[in-house]
Structure 1
Amino acid sequence: MASEKPQVMVTCTAPVNIAVIKYWGKRDEALILPINSSLSVTLHQDQLKTTTTAAISKDFTEDRIWLNGREEDVRQPRLQACLREIRRLAQKQRTAGDGDALPLSLSYKVHVASVNNFPTAAGLASSAAGYACLAYTLAQVYGVEGDLSEVARRGSGSACRSLYGGFVEWQMGKQADGTDSIAQQVAPEWHWPQLRVLVLVVSAEKKLTGSTVGMQTSVETSALLKFRAEAVVPARMTEMTRYIKERDFHGFAQLTMKDSNQFHATCLDTFPPISYLNDTSRRIIQLVHRFNAHHGQTKVAYTFDAGPNAVIFTLDDTVAEFVAAVRHSFPPTANGDKFLKGLQVIPSLLSDELKAALAMEPTPGGVQYIIATQVGPGPQVLDDPHVHLLGPDGLPQRVA
């Protein structure tokens, strides 16, 4: 246990991002370099975020990390890659004479505590938020400046997209060393104020096939994945960027759904096949298409990452009606008052015509709850010392 207060302690938060053009498959496992570029939407931290505190002290005898209150093995390779990379950059900056003012030794050990305010490993991009937050917090502690894409990417590929708010592209890059495989903002968080996001939590269970293993198998066995990466994604990246810049919801929504469907098709084309969607996921897809057909236009879009939970994109004037449609199709079995979390949504009544158009036998409890959110900013430094997850002794003091 530390005998004195840590020399430096910093707490930061980082957001979840949801890809609308999916990343699946690596060309380099060690450096985590993707076989195709991807594009994502950063969700607001008021609803979904990782909070991380990092501290360094001359009294710490080893690097240690706690995740959601439980100590994890700090020797985990991706964790080590992030730590190594940050320390390397800090050393490089010092040697260049940029960091002379830093009153700390790079040999000091670090303690890290991290918590998510949403289910972990359930296909809600927890590793992206977690590693983005780790990279950003460590950079503050060690005084590292500049782009952190490489550091975050070493932890989890899509984490580099969580380093920015708004709409973000991760360029696959061409270089073997990955120096050009970086994230860049396409449009800031305030660019499309009407856009809303609904996370339909179908299951908070840990998924059976982890993303890392799933991707590896897909790269080795799926011909469709190779075709997708080479022939489909480049044009879709250009298209999606245009739809976002022009705030063209119809184009954005249709392409988001098509890309999600194709990603899951590559999972089925993997051998043995991988299925991240369950029956409720498929019913949500059906609900969205029937809702849109009833309105005669695309008012709602779904996307699914490597898990059964749906992320829905819509505009602010459609939220209330779609939430009512979800509640009608998947009535809550308990805690009906807690069914909707996040942004306030004034419930709307469903018309008999829409109920008839949905033509779905209700599945009680199929959707556990909905998180209503919007596009949000990138990582933040929290200045209030009361929010630190580590105490003065460098050990966890609370679980947020």
Structure 2
Amino acid sequence: GKRDEELILPINSSLSVTLHQDQLKTTTTATISKDFTEDRIWLNGQEEDVGQPRLQACLREIRRLARKRRSTGDGDSLPLSLSYKVHIASENNFPTAAGLASSAAGYACLAYTLARVYGVEDDLSEVARRGSGSACRSLYGGFVEWQMGEQADGKDSVARQVAPESHWPQLRILVLVVSAEKKQMGSTVGMQTSVETSSLLKFRAESVVPSRLREMISCIQARDFPGFAELTMKDSNQFHATCLDTFPPISYLNDVSRRIVQLVHRFNACHGQTKVAYTFDAGPNAVIFTLEDTVAEFVAAVRHSFPPETNGDKFLKGLQVTPVLPSDTLKAALAMEPSPGGVQYIIATQVGPGPQILDDPHAHLLGPDGLPKPAA
């Protein structure tokens, strides 16, 4: 939830894990030219409305910072006029607007790319935040806190890295794609309604999150997986409880999501310890945290509970996982009637770095004419 919709200032601080771009990424190309007659943007090959308020807020802020730099005398080397129009192309290699943080990745990538084009070297937290609040966290790799800040102008509502991507090399993330469809209730509208109607959300922001965040940072720094996992699940559950406490209620989870929750708890009970954790954003897709030595067995449990209907060889994407069969003990502990096709596919990944510059010209999404390259 937000305390200021225009500046995108949150009602509480938060923490995220940046995923590795080898598996999930947004790629963005931007170019400015005296020959362009208007700003234009393409997302996943389709031209979008460049007048979207959040996109315009990012552009305005980047151009303001560029003008400020030039006016102070530091920007004499800027090669291109600030009056030139910009063309932007962006692509996600994972489902967009499906509750998998595509807006966070997209606006972080956009802010970073525009800063390169316009020669801006300031902290980009504020620029990315204007597009999508969580995008300010995605400007850093590893484990990142978005500090809510206290100032009315939002200058102190910025992201900071809690630990780098190399801090916890054994940590693995599995994205269980239940639905790649665009969610029916967008995050922004949903959060606005929750802030207006949910008394649980107010209690959560004021009385639960501050201490829980400190505890979470301690667990990360100590690489305490059971502590990290339990907090992650409790916080996910409470977030979705606030969605149900919203009026009219919002339900991002579906029956498959709830079966995944059951699966995780039964898997942990079978082992007598917390080896796997779930979290759900504003959508039905599950993000699973576990350690490297548990990945293969949990993937086997998911495959057993949600057998793929077709293309079983494409069920698992991303990092290589050695296939294993679930033990009879585990199958008995799961005690779930299989739900074929409930999980469409799994993306196996790990903690990753912040924005990267692609030197390969073939990776650029815009051609010399400033228009999207034709699909290969």
TM-score range, shorter chain: over 0.9
Backbone CA RMSD of aligned residues: 0.7
| Mapped pair 1:195 → 2:171 | yes
Q: Structure 1 residue 146: deviation in Å?
A: 2.2
Distance 1:83 1:379, change over 3 A: same
Aligned-partner Cα distance in 2 for 1:38–1:254: 16
Corresponding residue pairs, total: 376
Matched, 1:137 2:99: no
Q: Which of the numbers 225, 250, 266 marks the counterpart of 2:242? A: 266
- Structure 2 matches for 1:218-297, cutoff 5 A? 218-297=194-273
What's the secondary structure of 2:357's corresponding residue?
A: strand
Tell me, yes or no, if structure 1 residue 83 matches structure 2 residue 59. yes
TM-score (norm 1): 0.93
Could you tell me which amino acid in structure 2 is paired with residue 48 of structure 1?
L
CA distance in 2, matches of 1:322, 1:387: 35
Three-state SS of the structure 2 residue aligned to 1:209 is: coil
How many angstroms does 1:399 deviate by?
4.4
Q: Offset at 1:32?
A: 0.3
Query: In the aligned structure 2, how far is the partner of 1:302 from the partner of 1:345?
Result: 19
Query: Are the aligned partners of 1:27 and 1:35 in contact in 2 as well (CA < 8 Å)?
Result: yes
Q: Any residues of structure 2 matched to 1:160-171 within 5 Å, and which?
A: 160-171=136-147
Q: Does 1:338 align with 2:286?
A: no
Alpha-carbon distance between aligned partners in 1 of 2:33 and 2:123, rounded to the nearest angstrom = 26
Return the alpha-carbon distance in structure 1 between the equivalents of residues 82 and 292 of structure 2.
Answer: 48
In structure 2, how many angstroms separate the alpha carbons of the residues matched to 1:67 and 1:399? Answer: 13
In 2: Cα distance, 1:233 partner to 1:33 partner: 16
Describe how 1:49-198 pairs up with structure 2 within 5 A: 49-198=25-174
Instruction: Tell me whether 1:374 sits opposite 2:375 in the alignment.
Output: no
Corresponding residue to 2:279 among 288, 303, 312: 303
How has the CA–CA distance of structure 1 residues 366 and 329 changed in structure 2, closer, same or farther, with 3 Å as cutoff? same
* Aligned twin of 1:40: 16
Runs of 4+ aligned residues of structure 1 deviating over 4 Å after TM superposition are none
Q: Provide, for residues 288-331 of structure 1, a one-character-per-residue CA deviation record: whole Å limited to 9, x for no partner.
A: 00000000000000000000000000000000000000000000
Deviation, structure 1 residue 281: 0.1
Which of 269, 280, 297 aligns to 1:321? It is: 297
**Distance (whole Å) between structure 2 residues aligned to residue 74 and residue 349 of structure 1:** 50
> What percent identity do the matched residue pairs reach?
87
CA distance in 1, matches of 2:328, 2:175: 26
Contact preservation (8 Å) 1:389, 1:399: no
Q: Secondary structure at the residue paired with 1:292?
A: helix
Q: What secondary structure sits across from 1:362 in the alignment? A: coil
- CA deviations 1:222-281 (Å, max 9, x no partner) are 000000000000001100000000000000000000000000000000000000000000
Cross-structure match for 1:207: 183
Report the equivalent of 2:368.
Answer: 392
1:114 is paired with a residue of what secondary structure? Answer: strand
Amino acid at match of 1:117: N
| Structure 1: 5+ residue stretches without partners | 1-24
Give how far 1:360 is off: 0.2
CA distance in 2, matches of 1:118, 1:40: 18
1:99 offset after TM fit, Å? Answer: 1.0
Taking the aligned partners of 2:366 and 2:331, their CA distance within structure 1 comes to: 51
Q: Distance in 2 between matches of 1:385 and 1:141?
A: 16
The aligned runs of 1:6-17 (5 Å cut-off) are none
Q: Is the 8 A contact 1:115 1:399 kept in 2?
A: no
- Residue 344 of structure 2 is aligned to residue 364 of structure 1: no
Are the structure 2 counterparts of residues 261 and 140 from structure 1 closer, same or farther at C-alpha, using a change threshold of 3 Å? same
1:65 counterpart letter in structure 2 = I
**Are 1:222 and 1:270, in contact at CA under 8 Å, matched by a contact in 2?**
yes
**Aligned partner of 1:329: which letter?**
S
| Cα distance in 1, alignment partners of residues 374 and 198 from structure 2 | 45
